[in-house]
Amino acid sequence: MTDEQLLRYSRHILLDEVGIEGQERILAAHALIIGAGGLGSPAALYLASAGVGRITLVDGDVVDLTNLQRQIAHTTARVGRPKVESAAEAMAAINPGVQITALAARADAAMLDGLVREASVVLDCSDNYATRHAVNAACVRHGRPLVAGAVIRFDAQITVLDPRTARSPCYACIFPPDADFEEAHCSTLGVFAPLVGVLGAMQAAEALKLLAGMGQSLAGRLLMLDGRSMQWSSMRVQRAPDCPVCSAQ
């Protein structure tokens, strides 16, 4: 670690749970972030500021004026540009020492298969059910820990899905892929802006804990926040023995 890095990351190094060894693990890691919107913005900024050595950001959307109420990696001047380029610019401004790969594309199964294989940790910051299941399937297949978050209106949830742990469920154990429900979108239902900041920052925190090898992750727990009352609730989640995704792993 260089003198500049020792200074930049000194507040992490001062933590006994992180120290120089933990920070070095963070510097050597590769985080894959799916989505550069409300959740992806704070997650990407915090992972870059913390010194994750390589960050791959995937999103096929462009910055829209309606995004700026909550997607803090973007600015008015960057409306119309690909979100991944806008976020990469913000991340590089915070920490030019991070290697950022910006992929302006919608993540499909074929792309995810290659990207997840190369990642140390995956953050699902997407906004649709199909992508969440595709990300989960790739993480199960390649044994990569997944930090999954979601926010709509005043409701938020976060969990860690770690296929390296025998008892940890996958996303499909909790939310079956064949479930019949009406998908909610913030474009029609709205979203309370600070909640995506809270959840995106928590996703970054869980990812950093996994990378540094410290603390206890949210694996096996689904944490939920009601933004109206600011009340947290937690429920235990278990691996489904008949899960079509992870039961054969």
Give the start-to-end residue ranges of the domains of the chain: 3-236
3-class SS of residue 25: helix
pLDDT tier for residue 217 given thresholds of 50, 70 and 90 = very high
Question: To 5 degrees, how large is the angle CA 185–CA 81–CA 76?
Answer: 80
pLDDT tens figures, 66-103 = 999 999 999 999 999 999 999 999 999 999 999 999 99
Q: At residue 186, does pLDDT exceed 70?
A: no
pLDDT at 144: 98
Per-residue pLDDT band for 167 (boundaries 50, 70, 90) equals confident
Distant-in-sequence, close-in-space partners of 161: CB < 8 Å, separation ≥ 6: 136, 139, 145, 146, 147, 148, 168, 169, 170, 171, 219
150 has which bridge partners? Answer: 157
Report the pLDDT value the prediction gives residue 180, as an integer from 0 to 100.
59
- Name the E strands within the chain: 30-34, 54-58, 99-103, 121-124, 146-152, 155-161, 221-226, 231-236
8 A C-beta contact, residue 157 and residue 149: yes
Lowest-pLDDT choice from 1-15, 20-34, 100-114, 180-194 = 180-194
Does residue 184 register a pLDDT over 70? no
CA distance linking residue 195 with residue 201, whole number of Å: 10
pLDDT band per the 50, 70, 90 thresholds, residue 183 = low
Sign of CA dihedral 49, 50, 52, 57: negative
Report the distance separating Cα 65 and Cα 103, nearest Å.
21
3-236 has which fold?
A: Rossmann fold (3.40.50)
Q: Catalytic residue positions? A: 186
Using DSSP's 3-state secondary structure scheme, residue 13 falls into: helix
CA-to-CA distance for 184 and 197, rounded, in angstroms? 19
